[in-house]
Amino acid sequence: MPRIVVDVMPKPEILDPQGKAIVGALPRLGFTAFSGVRQGKRFELTVEGPVTDEILEQARNAAETMLSNPVIEDVVNVEVLDA
């Protein structure tokens, strides 16, 4: 079954305490190449049957209105993954 993947990230001007905690922990674990981290969310929507343009538009609308908080988050990706 195909899946639609939606990625949501905090807006750039919004503080990201989880990302800050992760970037602080990375060097302690030996990962020294990274200077910043932003943590987001990933949603996988399973579809029965083929993904039509209408279904993809529904996924985009759901991403903008329910899966993200448009005040503090941006939907950065909506894509179809085949089974």
Q: Which pLDDT value is given to residue 1?
A: 86
Report the C-alpha gap between 56 and 66 in whole angstroms: 15
pLDDT per residue rounded down to tens, the chain (83 residues): 899 999 999 999 999 999 999 999 999 999 999 999 999 999 999 999 999 999 999 999 999 999 999 999 999 999 999 75
Report the C-alpha gap between 49 and 55 in whole angstroms: 10
The reply to whether the predicted model has a pTM over 0.85 is yes
Report the C-alpha gap between 6 and 62 in whole angstroms: 10
| Burial degree of 34 (CB within 10 A; 0-12, 13-18, 19+) | exposed
